[in-house]
Amino acid sequence: MPSWQNFQPFIVTGLALGGVYALSGVGLVVLYQATGVVYLALGAVGAMGALISYSLIAAGVAPWLTWLVCLLFSGAVTLAYGMIFGPLLAKREPLVKATATLGLLLVLFGVMDLLWTTSSGKVRSLTFPTDGHGFSLGNVNITWTQVIGLAVGIAITIGTAAFLRFTKLGTAMRAMANDREITATLGVPVRRVEAAAWLGCGILAGIAGLLLADMVALDATTLTFLVISSLAAALIARLRSIVLTFVAAIVVGLVQNMLVPIPALTSYSNMAPFVLAAVALLLISRRRVITLSREEA
């Protein structure tokens, strides 16, 4: 068993990754609450945004501008999908809605494989000015990028909670989470509220894509399927509680990383999100029947 000292740097990386999982998990929960859609394409959208940012930087564009382009792209694609397919699938079962987003994922994945091929030994990376700079806590180096990862997760969680509680739009979203039909009859502009949710979720996907491209890898496959970790956190929170999503994401990030220094378990670290989600859902299901239908919940 590794010493406590060996675990320390993995706690830092776990917290940083957990923060990023949290912000995309929060996006998933808010979108689900507002529209009933589990947005499985979140990772792919962020991945493509990050790759666009990479290409623009390589072409000489200022990095900060490319980050903005990434967020705009992610927001625009997600909003467009929501506006086109949201109404068409509004009456369908949640499983159908979720599966439809897999279609978007596959389209984006195919485009990325075409434009940013992974064969021929190509290597890409995205770096932030905060990489390699930071401070030491005991024997552990903490970079500002890692601090940002966790801080953004916390800020998004608090900001979203406040937004849902204190703003008119947030109140409308919460109302739609309870009952879309009644909310509509009360005069709430349902389409506009849904559009805001899609746009917000898309922007969060872009932020997560940029951070994960730096902290994990700028690779279409990796980033696309990192959504699973965020989804695990959202599922543990039963796609309802933002705060619980944040806590679950941090736990997922920590467990995933703290398994690495344990030689017997290091190969299983990537399983952590699924195992945690499965255990949590099993425990929850002992007390009540789980349903994927927002209206029935």
Instruction: Pick from 9, 174, 240, 241 the residue near another protein by CB under 8 A.
Output: 9
- Residue 153 amino acid letter: G
Taking CB under 8 A as the binding criterion, the range among 23-31, 82-90, 187-195, 209-217 that sits at the site for another protein is 209-217
Task: Note the Cα 268 to chain centre separation in Å.
Answer: 22
Tokens for 135, please give them. 């401070």
Chain center to CA of 126: 18
When binding is defined by CB under 8 A, the residue of 132, 167, 181, 293 that contacts another protein is 132
Q: Residue 147 burial (CB < 10 Å; 0-12/13-18/19+)?
A: middle
Residue 118 found at the interface with another protein (CB under 8 A)? yes
Task: Tell me the window of 126-134, 156-164, 193-201, 282-290 that interacts with another protein (CB under 8 A).
Answer: 126-134
State the minimum distance, in angstroms, from the CB of residue 141 to another protein: 5
Q: Near another protein by CB under 8 A, which window of 90-98, 187-195, 239-247, 259-267?
A: 259-267
Binding another protein by CB under 8 A: which of 90, 107, 261, 281? 261
143 touching another protein, by CB under 8 A: yes
Degrees to nearest 5, angle at CA 23 with 15 and 260: 30
Q: Nearer Cβ to another protein, position 85 or 274?
A: 274
In this chain, which of 1, 4, 120, 296 binds another protein, going by CB under 8 A? 120
Is 13 a binding residue for another protein by CB under 8 A? The answer is: yes
As measured in angstroms, the least distance from the Cβ of 147 to another protein is 13
Among 269, 275, 292, 297, binds another protein (CB under 8 A): 269
Nearer to another protein, 195 or 216 (CB): 216
Q: Which of 55, 99, 171, 222 touches another protein (CB under 8 A)?
A: 222
Q: By the 8 A CB rule, do 130 and 117 touch?
A: no
Stretch touching another protein by CB under 8 A, among 30-38, 141-149, 235-243, 283-291: 141-149
Residue 266 sits in the site that holds another protein (CB under 8 A): yes
CB nearer to another protein: give 194 or 214. 214
**Nearest distance from C-beta of residue 17 to another protein, angstroms:** 8
Contact positions vs another protein (CB under 8 A): 2, 6, 9-10, 13, 118-123, 125, 127, 131-134, 141, 143, 145, 214-217, 219, 221-222, 225-226, 228, 257, 260-261, 266-267, 269-270, 274
